[in-house]
Amino acid sequence: MQPKKNPKVDLSKNSSLYFVIGLAAILFITWQAIEWKTYEKDLYGYEALDVEDDDDEEVPITEQIKTPPPPPPPPPAPEVIEVVEDEEEVEETVIESTETNQEEIVEVVEVEEVEEDIDVPFAVIEDVPIYPGCENVSKSERRDCFQDQINKHIKKNFRYPEIAQEMGIQGRVYVQFVIAKDGQITNIRMRGPDKNLEKEAERIISKLPQMTPGKQRGRAVRVPFSIPITFRLQ
């Protein structure tokens, strides 16, 4: 028995080609469907408008009326000057001078001199303060006598503070004081390495006696004086 199938006709021979063609066709149709766009119709249509040219409008020619200027004002009337005879007498005003005559008495006002507290340094004062005991010394030697008596007074009244000795404190204390116009010792100031040494220096200077005050041009003045006191442990 012969087979019904024709061996020459093989449907599976070009199946892969047909599959590729069909796949390409489907992809093309799908792409066209995705890219398909629709637009709404315009609600308003555009129409051509015929615009007349109104730019060339004729302007009527007008004539400018010139108004004449106003007439000038009339000239002022001349003033009438009346001549009046000078019958009234005018009193002259006499200005008296305020300057005083030489014959007037000049009052003499006496001005009292006010004494001022002037500090004159010991090195430049004319008459140095006189320490008790230097009265009989010549004027040229009173300065040296004053300093010698001050040094003797310091040595005589010197006493080393016990606290400073125990702590081993020593140094130099600079003392400044003022011999007032009445000879009293005032304004004692100290500057040293320790408070105890400063107190001792103040105690020594405060024991100075009252002196004869220094004078400048014959008038008593304040005389500042300074001296160092040395504290040294043996």
| Average pLDDT of every residue of the chain | 78
Residue type, 121: P
Residue 179, H or E segment: strand 171-179
Per-residue pLDDT averaged across 154-168, rounded? Answer: 91
User: Which residues, other chains included, contact 135 with Cβ-Cβ below 8 Å and sequence gap of 6+?
Assistant: 212
In this prediction, residue 2 carries a pLDDT of 56
Q: How many CA atoms lie within 13 A of 4 on its CB side?
A: 0
Domains of the chain from N-terminus onward: 139-231 (3.30.1150.10)
Which of these, 146, 161, 168, 170, lies nearest to 202 by C-alpha position?
161
Q: Which amino acid is at 105?
A: I
- The pLDDT value recorded for residue 177 is 94
Average pLDDT over residues 128-149: 91
End-to-end CA distance of the chain: 161
Least confidently predicted of 55-69, 137-151, 191-205: 55-69
- The secondary structure element, H or E, covering residue 152 is helix 142-157
pLDDT of residue 42 exceeding 60, the answer is no
For residue 63, the model assigns a pLDDT of: 61
SS3 for 177?
A: strand
- What is the pLDDT, as a whole number, of residue 47? 47
The sign of the dihedral angle between the CA atoms of 118, 121, 122, 123 is negative
Per-residue pLDDT tens over the stretch 73-100: 777 766 666 655 555 555 555 555 555 5
Predicted local confidence at residue 203, as pLDDT = 94
Question: Could you tell me how many helices (H) and strands (E) the chain has, helices first?
Answer: 4, 5
User: What does pTM read for this prediction?
Assistant: 0.49
Per-residue confidence (pLDDT) for residue 80, from 0 to 100 = 60
Average pLDDT over residues 115-123: 80
Predicted confidence (pLDDT) at residue 13 exceeds the cutoff of 90? no
